[in-house]
Structure 1
Amino acid sequence: MTRIALTRYLAWFVLSLACLSLPVLRAADLPQHETAIAKPNIVLVMADDQGWGDVGYYGHPFLQTPEIDAMAKDGFVFDRFYAAAPVCSPTRASVMTGRNPIRSKVPNHGRYMRPQEHTLAESLKAAGYVTGIFGKVHLGSGQPDSPCNPSGMGFDEWCVGLNFFDNDPYLSRNGKVEHCEGKGSVLVMDDAIEFVSKHSTSNQPFFMTVWFPSPHDPHQEVPDGPPLYTGKKQAGYYREITLLDQQVGRLRKQLRDLKIEDNTIVWYCSDNGGLNDETSGGREKKGSIYEGGLRVPGIIEWPARELHGRTDVPVWTCDIYPTLLSMAGVDPDSTDGPTDPLDGIDITKIISGESTSRGQPMGFWHQFQPGQLTYSDRILKAIMEKQQTGAPLPHNAHRMQKDVDEFPRFAENTTTGHAAWNDWPWKLHRINGKKFELYNLVDDPMEEHDLAGDPKQQLRLVRMQKALDQWMRSVVRSINGDDY
């Protein structure tokens, strides 16, 4: 292990000892006379490319994230939180569905999520929530009549980019494209705060998704205040993280000012590993399903339930859907979803300290299919110009229906790409179906010492190979459309 890696893991260990997990109650655990309280508001916040160690609370040597650090201090920290994929679109699909993203036909960036999937927004909307999404979606269209726009995903209100954006972006507001002025991440929070303010006095709870476009390159946004990080490596990346941090502070302050923070769940994470492998929390970085490409910051707040402390039990973005339904007291069977099979689990008992293991392995699979480029500003600008003149909209065939009706039949034994099976603390890699690597993540967090050839691990290796193969076959059946 390198000196840098050893230092950051020692820092993580000290932080873990310093904070003990405190009990937390779910609505289902409360005495009967208390279960009539209002359903919680729910806010999901996601950064775009922020790495596991790119926060102040993990001891970054110069990065300033005081608002996220305060959230970590006040809330509950997942020290081993994983994105479902090492790139953006698939992880977003996992949040929406609770499923490995290949199941929903989002195997890589730029793919559209199938409208046949039942989403978290649809489940919460059926349970009485008003729903909104703001920021980078990268799961579908911004055109008003597309089945793959946010309305088709279950959102009542939306203002989105199709991919990352920076200053002065083109954004689609409920299908009408606008050319906005300002920093993209600030504009996203402006819309989020307006949504929260509008619905804060309603008897109807709200579910809001805030997906920042930062700190994705080209890093043109800068935070308020004096210049930061001059001369530092990847200074623009870190400036955008501080800008993002400032926006998280605005959101948390608005919840307090409106006096609704007590019964509002805020869940913060990133969509994949970061851009700096020295602070990635493991081997490699974004684009890899070694640890550094998947580990991300993860924090949840819910003051009414006194969520405090931390856990090193592995959890991931697929767990968000079933966990939030549980916290909101929503019976999945009463909302026509989610789509089976789920890959995520309800982790409320992990948060409460009742469970010290997840019990269900996590399956990752990258490069099943290649990604597709999405130039958000270019596409949305062309749509806006046609909307302004009343001309037929561009991209109708390609952008409105892309992937919607395609059900190609992949062979069930397809193994293209790089898959992994995290059965904590063991992790098995399967590369193009041929090469296997096995690591013990407790003893070898940097995945440097392959144990696949160790005679002592052959029974474990065979057992994990069989489990991973069965899971991969299940995923192929899903992308083939067998779940619908």
Structure 2
Amino acid sequence: MKTHLLLLASLLLSHASFAAPPNVVLVMADDQGWGDTGYNGHPDLKTPNLDTLAKSGVRLNRFYTAHFNCSPTRASVMTGRHPDRMGTFNPGAPIRAEELTVAKVLQSAGYATGHFGKWHLNGKNGDKNTTDMPGRAILASDPLSPGKMGFDEWVSADNFFDLDPVLGRNGVPEKFHGDSSDVTTDEALKFIKKQAAAGKPFLSVVWFGSPHVPHIALPADKAPYSKLSEEEQNYYGEITAVDRSVGRLRAALRELKVADNTIFWYNSDNGGHEGAKSTGYLRGEKGTLWEGGVRVPAVVEWPARITQPFISETPCSTLDIYPTVLAATGAVAQNQIQPLDGISLLPLFDRQTETRSKAIPFWAHGRDGGGHAALLEWPYKLHTNPASGRGNKKNKKGAAPMAATLLYDVSKDPKETTDLAAQEPERVAKMTAELNAWKASVEKSLAGADYPQKAGK
């Protein structure tokens, strides 16, 4: 009898934990490539905390960023919409003020919201900030600061940052000391501990400034790589600091006894650009729509719901973070701006599906509406106008010109080496039509059709 009562109490406790709205911690590295983890087989880099995370949750083996650069991808995480829809075409481009962010939605649902680290959605780039101090602090007067986009608290930079940074604490410049990832984690943990003590659900966005160039690692973080070049020591040292920070965040959630019902989502903002090992030997790199530019490491941990670890080959995107978080928390977006380009991944987390209901679009939008575009409709990836992409305009001497349309089966050919377009004309025609229809919808968004007050409706 006592055993049955204990089992019933355990089930009720588990149900109560699951029924409570989950906390959300969104962690993102800056320029970490697909190959830049131990669990993906990097020959030199050591990432014990990321490796443990990958064994503890759902490892999204086919995770893509919405864009091959930082600001656009960050806009997709915030909104669930492709960055082209809001004109966030390239690094340093601002998010559109009218956009509905995950922070705004969760804030209205009673969540405490905090942003820590790199923001890069306020239209500032590099050292062109408005402080008189060295660093990249965002000021309270900035119309696109994290505070204006739904965050209660923020300690944020307008771009990447390294050792001893100057960041904006709720808009006031403040000097910090130490590695940038440690600084970011310190501030995120202060926020998380405060909310856990108050029993309030929280959204904590933790966006590291590493391993973006310039690479400047602490001596202790470089030490494991002492036999490698100085450049590699600094690069791997920065990722080591990111890895340590991931371990600290996960450990704190467990110490605070909130880990079980916290969604912990880790990914990078675009592909790597530190050589073949960084991209995992995929084609292309940061700044391109080839796999090396948009496929990145990603893991989601949520013990209350993802009860058994598994590896998923289902294609997923940073576009999916917003709809997944809203579905998981039950937060309702008032006056949701349409269309959304992402989908909720809860059915995937629950092992109810291994397929994706919507293709993943990519577009290096040009001023004339041209540019390299791609569509991933598993397992096929279509490229249109690829020669316009970075590094593709000049072919090697004697090489044939790049075709206007290319098709790859990336499940069998992840390095995109064997073009199947000639063998699959019907598939090419269908996917091209889908991609063109999506591009037309993006142009409508850019014209303001997503915003009734701007469209005169």
Range class of TM-score, shorter chain: 0.7 to 0.9
Deviations 1:389-421 (A, max 9, x none): xxxxxxxxxxxxxxxxxxxxxxxxx53221111
* Displacement after TM superposition at 1:32 (Å): 13
Corresponding residue for residue 268 of structure 1: 266
Q: Select the residue among 235, 245, 250 that pairs with 2:243.
A: 245
Aligned-partner Cα distance in 1 for 2:139–2:372: 34
RMSD: 2.1
Give the direction of change, closer, same or farther, for the CA distance of 1:32–1:245 in structure 2 (3 Å limit).
Answer: closer
Counterpart contact for 1:286–1:292, Cα < 8 Å: yes
Greater RCO (CA < 8 Å, at least 6 residues apart): 1
Q: 1:451 aligns with which of 417, 420, 442?
A: 420
Specify the code of the residue in structure 1 equivalent to 2:286.
K
For 1:100-111, list aligned pairs within 5 A. Answer: 100-111=82-93
Superposition map of 1:387-398 within 5 A = none
Q: What runs of 5+ residues in structure 1 fail to find an aligned partner?
A: 1-29, 370-413
1:426 aligns with 2:380: yes
| Change beyond 3 A, Cα 1:337–1:345 | farther
Task: Answer yes or no: is 1:80 the counterpart of 2:78.
Answer: no
Return closer, same or farther for 1:323/1:236 CA change in 2, 3 Å cut-off.
same
Letter in 1 for 2:325: L
Distance 1:263 1:478, change over 3 A: same
Which residue identity does 1:292 align to in structure 2? G
What corresponds to 2:127 in structure 1? none
Report the TM-score, using the length of structure 1 for normalisation.
0.80
Task: Give the counterpart letter for 2:448 in structure 1.
Answer: G
Offset of residue 89 of structure 1: 0.5
**In the alignment, which residue of structure 2 is the partner of 1:96?**
78
Shift in alpha-carbon separation, 1:143–1:359, aligned structure 2, 3 A: same
Give the match for residue 216 of structure 2: 220
Q: What residue number does 1:115 align with?
A: 97
Task: Tell me, in whole angstroms, the C-alpha distance in 2 between the residues paired with 1:67 and 1:429.
Answer: 36
Q: Which amino acid aligns with 2:310?
A: G
Which residue identity does 2:58 align to in structure 1? F
2:290 is equivalent to residue 290 of structure 1 = yes
> What are the superposed Cα offsets for residues 258-278 of structure 1, whole Å, 9 maximum, x if unpaired?
111111111000000012333
- Distance in 2 (CA, whole Å) between partners of 1:277 and 1:368 is 28
Q: In the alignment, is the contact (CA less than 8 A) between 2:73 and 2:318 conserved in 1?
A: yes
Q: Secondary structure at the match of 1:363?
A: strand
How far the C-alpha of 1:124 sits from its partner, in A, is 0.7
How far apart in 1 are the matches of 2:140 and 2:219? 33
Instruction: State how far apart, in whole Å, the 1-side matches of 2:14 and 2:163 are.
Output: 50
Name which of structure 1's ranges 136-145 and 49-58 shifts more when overlaid on structure 2.
136-145
**Contact 1:188/1:212 (CA < 8 Å) preserved in 2?**
yes
In the alignment, what sits opposite 1:14? Answer: none
1:255 and 1:203 map into 2 onto residues whose CA distance is: 13
* One-letter code aligned to 2:72: P
User: What's 1:125 paired with?
Assistant: 107
Quick check: 2:223–2:233 contact (8 Å CA) kept in 1?
no
Question: 1:314-354: per-residue Cα shift (whole Å, max 9, x none)?
Answer: 00000001111111122x3xx31542100000111122221
Structure 1: distance between partners of 2:431 and 2:18: 45
Residue type of the partner of 1:310? I
Task: State the Cα distance separating 1:242 from its structure 2 match.
Answer: 0.8
Distance 2:17 2:216 in 1: 47
SS in 1 for 2:234: helix
How many residues align? The count is: 406
After superposition, the Cα gap between the structure-2 partners of 1:163 and 1:462, relative to the gap in structure 1 and judged at 3 Å, is: same
Residue 151 of structure 1 aligns to a residue whose secondary structure is helix
> Could you tell me which amino acid in structure 1 is paired with residue 177 of structure 2?
E
Give the percent of matched residue pairs that are identical in Structure 1 and Structure 2.
46
Q: How does 1:58-457 map to 2 (within 5 A)?
A: 58-140=40-122, 142-222=138-218, 224=220, 227-232=223-228, 234-275=232-273, 276-281=275-280, 282-305=282-305, 306=307, 308-330=309-331, 332=332, 335-368=333-366, 414-431=368-385, 432=388, 435-452=404-421, 454=422, 456-457=423-424
| CA contact 1:120–1:338 (8 Å) conserved in 2 | no
Native 8 Å contact 2:33 2:297 kept in 1: yes
Preserved CA contact (<8 Å) 1:184 1:221: no
Measure how far apart 1:139 and its partner are. Answer: 0.3
- Is the contact made by 1:108 and 1:367 (CA closer than 8 Å) also made in structure 2? no
Contact 1:428 1:436 in 2 (8 A): yes
Preserved contact between residue 18 and residue 304 of structure 2 (Cα < 8 Å)? no
Instruction: Give structure 2 stretches of 5+ with no counterpart.
Output: 1-11, 125-137, 390-402, 452-457
Q: Which moved more, 1:171-180 or 1:205-214?
A: 171-180
Q: In structure 1, how many angstroms separate the alpha carbons of the residues matched to 2:100 and 2:149?
A: 8
Partner-residue secondary structure (3-state), 2:407: strand
* Preserved contact between residue 64 and residue 316 of structure 2 (Cα < 8 Å): yes
Cα gap change, 1:347/1:114 in structure 2, threshold over 3 Å: closer, same or farther? same
After superposition, the C-alpha distances for 1:157-189 in whole angstroms (9 at most, x for unaligned) are 001110001011121111111222222111111
1:437 maps to a residue whose letter is L
CA distance in 2: counterparts of 1:107 and 1:223, whole angstroms: 37
Rounded Cα–Cα distance in structure 1 between residues aligned with 2:48 and 2:412: 32
For 2:293, the aligned partner's letter is G
